[in-house]
Amino acid sequence: MKSPLRILLLEDDAHDAELVRELLEADHLACEVVRAQTRAEFLGALESGGIDLILADYQLPSFDGLSALKLALSERPDVPFIFVSGTLGEEVAIEALKIGATDYVLKTRLSRLVPSVQRALREARDRAERKNAEEALRRSEMYLAEAQRVSRTGSFGWNFSSGEIYWSEETYRIFECEPTIKPTVQLVIDRAHPDDRMHLRQIIDRAATERREFAAEHRLMMDNGSVKHVRIVAHPSTEGDPEGVVFVGAVIDITERKRAEEERERLLELEADLARMNRVSMMGELAASLAHEIKQPMAAAAINADACTRWLRSEPPGVAEAREAAAAVAAAVMRAAAIIDRVSSLYRRGAPERELVDVNEIIRGLTVLLGDRANRSSISIRAELTPGLPRTTADRVQLQQVLMNLMLNGIEAMQDTGGELTVASKRSEDGQLLISVSDLGHGISIDEAKRIFEAFFTTKPKGTGMGLSICRRIISSHGGSIWASPNTGRGATFQFTLPPT
């Protein structure tokens, strides 16, 4: 049910007040009339609110209509105000309209009251709707400006017909130009970094010729010498200019993103350098083992070379025997070269190379390579490898680095006491490849096991805390996980998983 019209009526004559009510209700205008005769009553009704219309006599014994009008304009400027009076002259009526009255009706012509009220209410509704629309537009523009500021995204329009360019406030902020400056294509070119101007000019000229959407990334050179990175995207539109083409687009300040990308690249490079340094530091541990490994094939090569010489000097020369000895020399040299390649791959610098690898093969190779280092500390290495394990797609050098880190840590943990280092491989319950390295050294606590893979955390007096952190990164990049736990008796066990191919 529609609410009744609430009318504030300033009238001292009860008969006239009743007549006004009857006229309105006779025209099916349901209304609730609040009558006031004094300034205090009128002001109290205004302050209470909920008034839809004000009807006022011009002259009252203790108050007057013009004063009432001024009060209404101050307290309720949106409420229509109509004078209903028998003493209102034409000059006074015109002055009242100038001040802000909506209309006036003479009591001698009350037939005009209902049309005047209807017109006033309609105009009031229109004003309210227009005000709400303007407020919604203002609020929308405010939200858009704030969103552009937060996202560092400005907008622009470029009219080809007139050459006029529109910039939003954020676009002015990005280009660091005063809002009073008229934007032009030349201004955009001049603000670009000198090295980017020619390329930007080509993009703009192509867009102007082909009338197609475009995107560009370039740098801006600020007046203070600083550099910004921006991305511009735009597409053509004929809306608002039927006879021409308008480009509507956005300017996005991507300086922070570019800096973050550069920082990320720098950190990745630093991380790669740290991993390489970690591998290089392990070479000191391998020096004795490497010498021991190479000595055997080189000694065999020397013996067979001497034998080859002797067979060739004999009478008659033992060609068949010399050939066999020479072949043995070649095989020994090749074996020594393979050992050198296997070890040198650990500290070569280069991009990771993924391939199908046999984890058991890597473990066997490292067991041989670290055997001499372990023997010097009365440590034996035992390999418990499950045969027939599937291969995994991985970087061979990085997996060698992980296993070597874990095995050297285990050897170091037992170097004063001796013991056994166990390296095992098998399938986990969920089908992953599970590799473990277990020692009988001094062990780690549960709290240390939780933190041991954190960068710069170490349990060694002279440790850097980087080796295990690098191991975790490598295993994580291969889609696996790595963890440590204290053994029930002595020592600790390190385990990691890899997805099978």
Answer yes or no: is pLDDT of 480 > 90.
yes
Of the candidates 401, 417, 399, the one whose C-alpha atom is nearest the C-alpha of residue 480 is: 399
The per-residue pLDDT for 434 is 96
The overall average pLDDT reported for the chain is 82
Question: Could you write out the DSSP letters of every residue in 375-392?
Answer: HTTTEEEEEEE-TTPPPE
CA pair distance 264, 251, nearest whole angstrom: 24
Beta pairing partners, 165:
158
E-only strand ranges, 238-306: 246-253
Q: Write out pLDDT tens, residues 151-200.
A: 678 888 888 777 788 888 888 888 989 988 999 989 989 999 999 999 98
Q: How many CA atoms lie within 13 A of 327 on its CB side?
A: 6
Global pTM value: 0.41
Q: Compute the distance between CA of residue 469 and CA of residue 482 in angstroms, rounded to an integer.
A: 10
Q: What CATH fold (topology level) applies to the domain 351-501?
A: Heat Shock Protein 90 (3.30.565)
For the CA atoms of the chain, what is the radius of gyration? Answer: 46
pLDDT of residue 383: 94
**Cβ atoms < 10 Å from Cβ of 415:** 16
How many Å apart are CA 173 and CA 149, to the nearest integer? 9
Topology of the domain covering 5-130: Rossmann fold (3.40.50)
* Closest to 293 measured CA to CA, from 258, 342, 246: 342
What pLDDT score was predicted for residue 361?
Answer: 92
pLDDT of 270 reads: 63
471 close to 404: Cβ distance less than 8 angstroms:
no
Q: 126: exposed, middle or buried (C-beta count within 10 Å: 0-12, 13-18, 19+)? A: exposed
Q: How far apart are CA 192 and CA 251, in angstroms?
A: 13
Which tens digits make up the pLDDT trace of 65-102?
889 999 999 889 889 999 988 777 777 888 888 888 98
Please compute the mean of the pLDDT values over residues 382-411 and round it to a whole number: 89
Q: How far is the C-alpha of 387 from the C-alpha of 394, rounded, in Å?
A: 19
Q: pLDDT at residue 26 above 60? A: yes
* pLDDT given for residue 263 in this prediction: 80
What does the block give as tokens for 384? 């418990």
Q: Provide the pLDDT for residue 198.
A: 92
Give the pLDDT confidence score for residue 356 in this predicted structure.
92
- Strand pairing report for 81-85 and 103-106: parallel
Instruction: Indicate whether 385 pLDDT > 90.
Output: yes
Instruction: Classify domain 152-253 by CATH number.
Output: 3.30.450.20
123-141 pLDDT, tens digit per residue, is 888 888 888 777 877 776 6
Q: Is pLDDT at 402 greater than 90 in this prediction?
A: no
Helix (H) or strand (E) holding 193: none
Asked whether residue 427 carries a pLDDT value surpassing 90, the answer given is yes
* Helix and strand element counts for the chain (H, E): 15, 17
- In this predicted structure, what is the pLDDT of residue 314? 83
- Structure confidence at residue 421 (pLDDT): 95
- DSSP percent split of the chain into helix, strand, coil, nearest 5: 50, 20, 30
Residue 278 has pLDDT above 70, yes or no: no
Angle between helices 255-313 and 467-477 (to 10 degrees): 100
Residue 29 CB-density burial (10 A; 0-12 exposed, 13-18 middle, 19+ buried): middle
Q: Which two tokens stand for residue 309?
A: 């010489």
pLDDT in tens, 195-248: 999 998 998 888 888 888 888 899 999 989 899 999 998 888 766 555 556 888
Rounded to 5°, the CA angle 299-304-309 comes to: 130
CA angle (167 as vertex; 174, 181 as ends), nearest 5: 85
What CA–CA distances, in Å, run from 407 to 84, 276, 284, 434?
103, 18, 15, 15
Tokens 């209700």 correspond to what residue? 25
Question: Greatest CA span in the chain, whole angstroms?
Answer: 157
- What would the DSSP string read from start to end of 49-114? ----EEEE-SB-SS-BHHHHHHHHHHH-TTS-EEEEESS--HHHHHHHHHHT--EEEEGGGGGGHH
Minimum mean pLDDT range among 13-17, 145-149, 316-320, 376-380: 145-149
Does the structure show a pLDDT above 70 at 275?
Answer: no
CA dihedral 310, 316, 317, 318 (to 10 degrees): -90
The Cβ of residue 491 has, within 10 Å, a number of other Cβ atoms equal to 22
Look-up of token digits 């009553």: 41
Read off φ and ψ for residue 179, nearest 5 degrees.
-60, -15
Mean pLDDT over residues 336-346, rounded? Answer: 61
Count Cβ atoms below 10 Å from residue 458 Cβ, excluding itself.
Answer: 18
b/e code 339-365 from CB counts within 10 Å (16+ = b): beebbeebbeeeeeeeeebebbebbeb
> Which residue, among 69, 124, 76, has the nearest Cα to 95 in the 3D structure?
69
pLDDT at 272 over 80: no
Please tell me the distance from the alpha carbon of residue 141 to that of residue 336, in angstroms, as a whole number.
76
Residue 499 pLDDT level (bands cut at 50, 70, 90)? very high
Q: Report helix, strand or coil for 236.
A: strand
Element spanning 434, H or E: strand 433-438
Question: Chain centroid to CA 415: how far?
Answer: 48
pLDDT category, 428, cuts 50, 70, 90?
very high
